[in-house]
Amino acid sequence: MNRLRWTALPACIALLCGCAHSNSAAPTEADAQKLADEAKAMVQRINDEAYQRQRESGAAGWVAATYINDDTQLLAARAQQRDLAYQAEVLDEARRYTDARLDESTQRSLDRLLNQTVLPPASAAEQAELTTIGARLEAAYGSARSCPDPEKPERCRDLIELSRVLAESRDPAALRQAWIDWHDTAAIMRDDYQRYAELMNHGAREYGYKDTGDLWRSGYDMSAEDFSLETERLWSQVQPLYTSLQCYVRTRLNQHYGDTEVPKTGPIPGHVLGNMWQQDWSAIYPLVEPYPGVASLDVNSGLQKAKYDAVKLTRQAEGFYTSLGMPELPQSFWQKSMLTKPADRDVQCHASAWDIDMKGDVRIKMCIEADEENLRTIYHELGHVYYYLAYQNLPPLFQTGAHDGFHEAIGDTVVLSLTPGYLSRVGLIDAPKQSEEAVINAQMKMALEKIAFLPFGKLIDQWRWGVFDGSIKPENYNRSWWELKQRYQGVMPPVPRDETRFDPGAKYHVPANTPYTRYFLAHILQFQMQRELCQAAGNQSPLYDCSIFDNKEAGARFWAMLQRGASQPWQQTMKEFSGSEQMDASAIIEYFQPLAAWLDQQNEGQRCGW
């Protein structure tokens, strides 16, 4: 997802600048009203200006991602520099209204204005440096290639090719080399990232935050401290299920590869889990399938047989949303999106959704291949797009998710409805057998995607928060990264990694400076949302077997939530939707109950944990 984002901040602007009138006489009622009117007028002006600013920055970002070269990187950096300068100007102006008695909408608008991923340093030189480094980091990731022999560029491999090796090969030497080749491309980012973090901290501290991590955690309609406790609470709900899954998968991989490649106990080497970052283990499903051959879930064969291409995959995903009563995608989406990798230039293939102008120019950027992973990714990305369309009539300062986890959860909630029953209904798999073995197989495949992701979703920002607050020093970047990977995921690098490397940079969201806890929260919220939508749809089957496809009642409830955007605290939006103000992982436990019981049986006698 890419757009100018105004995310929520607890309503206490005073922390930024103290009391504006502490050394002057108390304002009269007329003075107070004048100040409130000025604040309201400022908010209106910012909203009015946001459309053109979004259009300019969106266009610059789009070409920088889809035409990677020095010229587009310069344009993107200059656009970001203008944005930071503008933000610095309006943030300074907002300080005038610290003590003003404002109406609820104006106050919330100011709160959202003051909390962003990056707060600009006061120095124009530092603003320019920040944007230049940011563009350089993104370009380094987008153009990264592994080239063992510089004189033979035809032998270079990019992320797509290296990821395909990890997903498809069962040769441990080939897996290990592909893993090393990609992670080594990130080493050049290390110094830039260190300086980038320093500059971001300068901006955050100038506005009263302890550091950038404190800024990020303050964007959830609760204090930064309470948010840290909330993420730990949610992780504690799901950690036992993840530990059981890791234990079972480790045992099966050990049986396949042997003790020298995968030990019977402890962490799992990262190269054998089918994914570059070990965040999604779906590719190794054939190695860990509980009941081989029962109720085939080979979606890839169905896609190939039906001759799916990028457009047909995207049309299929659009059809799910329209079946709920949501509108068709605008024609401009099909004209302007990048759905396949161009042959004539470097692009960022990392999938993302874009709201270019806050008025309906929505797009996705992907290098789509006709496989199940891409199918699910498209459904996810269109969740962002439909959120954009749902709240486009709100003022720009409210045009974002209830919190950033909501934005990621929408498409993922829809993905939960891609049940074997749904996939059979649209002709991608044969009609599934409704046996206990078939259920366990389907749940295993889902768990390899959803449950395997949870610790990874949490640890990336755990690492960055440590970088920002200084508890992780530059000389320990890589060691600390792998300590967190082992602590949360129970994985380890396939070869020793020293401090000449920068393995965090091998994940797009680090050089792109995209907060990642949103994805962890999304994996909690999507099950919670799915449970509510299935109840609205009148579903009588187990939660894991529910698809809301073609149900207008569930669609209406979904759309009503999306239309709220960030116009109110997320707790209120959640209460309207579900009756509860809390995020709750109990729906995950309900969803995977059959698999959890099965894993307990399979793991008897094993030393689980690491």
Instruction: Identify the pLDDT of residue 11.
Output: 29
Average pLDDT over residues 213-239: 94
- Percent pLDDT > 90 in the chain is 80
- Catalogue the long-range contacts made by 480-486 (C-beta closer than 8 Å, 24 or more residues apart): 484/459, 485/270, 485/278, 485/459, 486/267, 486/610
Instruction: Identify the pLDDT of residue 189.
Output: 97
Task: Record the tokens describing residue 375, joined without a space.
Answer: 């199918």
Burial label, 106 (beta-carbon count in 10 A; 0-12, 13-18, 19+): buried
Q: Which residue has the tokens 């003790």?
A: 259
Query: What is the DSSP code string of 49-62?
Result: HHHHHHHHHHHHHH
d(CA 203, CA 92): 12
Q: What is the pLDDT of residues 115-159, one digit of tens each?
A: 778 888 888 899 999 999 999 999 999 899 999 877 777 789 999
Task: Record the tokens describing residue 333, joined without a space.
Answer: 């989406």
Q: What is the pLDDT of residues 312-340, one digit of tens each?
A: 999 999 999 999 999 999 999 999 999 99
Instruction: Identify the pLDDT of residue 140.
Output: 94
Specify the amino acid at residue 594. Answer: P
User: Which phi and psi angles does 16 have, rounded to 5°?
Assistant: -80, -30
Average pLDDT over residues 79-86: 86
Overall number of domains in the chain: 1
Q: What is the pLDDT of residues 177-197, one digit of tens each?
A: 999 999 999 999 999 999 999
d(CA 174, CA 179): 9
Is the predicted pLDDT of residue 275 greater than 80, yes or no?
A: yes
Q: What does DSSP assign to residue 291? A: S
Q: CA dihedral defined by 461, 583, 557, 431, rounded to 10 degrees?
A: 80
Cα distances (angstroms) measured from residue 467 to each of 67, 79, 212, 320:
31, 27, 9, 41
Q: Is residue 550 part of a domain?
A: yes
Q: Is residue 86 part of a domain?
A: no
Domain that holds residue 508: 231-602
Q: Is residue 206 part of a domain?
A: no
Is the predicted pLDDT of residue 433 greater than 90, yes or no?
A: no
User: Which phi and psi angles does 355 have, rounded to 5°?
Assistant: -115, 100
Q: Is residue 166 part of a domain?
A: no
Count of Cβ atoms closer than 10 Å to residue 306 Cβ: 13
Q: Is residue 535 part of a domain?
A: yes
Task: Report the CATH number that the domain containing residue 383 is assigned in CATH.
Answer: 1.10.1370
Strands 352-355 and 362-365: antiparallel
Instruction: Identify the pLDDT of residue 20.
Output: 34
To the nearest 5 percent, what fractions of the chain are helix, strand and coil?
Answer: 60, 5, 35
pLDDT-based confidence at residue 27 (cuts at 50, 70, 90)? low
pLDDT-based confidence at residue 539 (cuts at 50, 70, 90)? very high
Contact 119, 134 (CB under 8 A): no
Average pLDDT, the chain: 91
Provide the β-strand partners of residue 492.
269
Contact 340, 160 (CB under 8 A): no
Instruction: Identify the pLDDT of residue 25.
Output: 56
d(CA 527, CA 483): 29
Q: Is residue 12 part of a domain?
A: no
Q: Is residue 46 part of a domain?
A: no
The end-to-end CA distance of the chain, in Å, is 35
Specify the amino acid at residue 596. Answer: A
Name the 3-class secondary structure at 290.
coil
Is the predicted pLDDT of residue 19 greater than 50, yes or no?
A: no
Is the predicted pLDDT of residue 12 greater than 70, yes or no?
A: no
Closest-CA residue to 279 (of 122, 113, 459): 459
Closest-CA residue to 244 (of 526, 583, 606, 599): 599
Q: Higher confidence at residue 296 or residue 469?
A: 469
Is the predicted pLDDT of residue 6 greater than 80, yes or no?
A: no
d(CA 51, CA 3): 11
Quote the pTM value: 0.86
Q: Is residue 109 part of a domain?
A: no
Instruction: Identify the pLDDT of residue 111.
Output: 83
Instruction: Identify the pLDDT of residue 137.
Output: 95
d(CA 169, CA 173): 10
Strands 352-355 and 491-492: unpaired
Specify the amino acid at residue 551. Answer: N
DSSP element (H, E) containing 484? helix 477-484
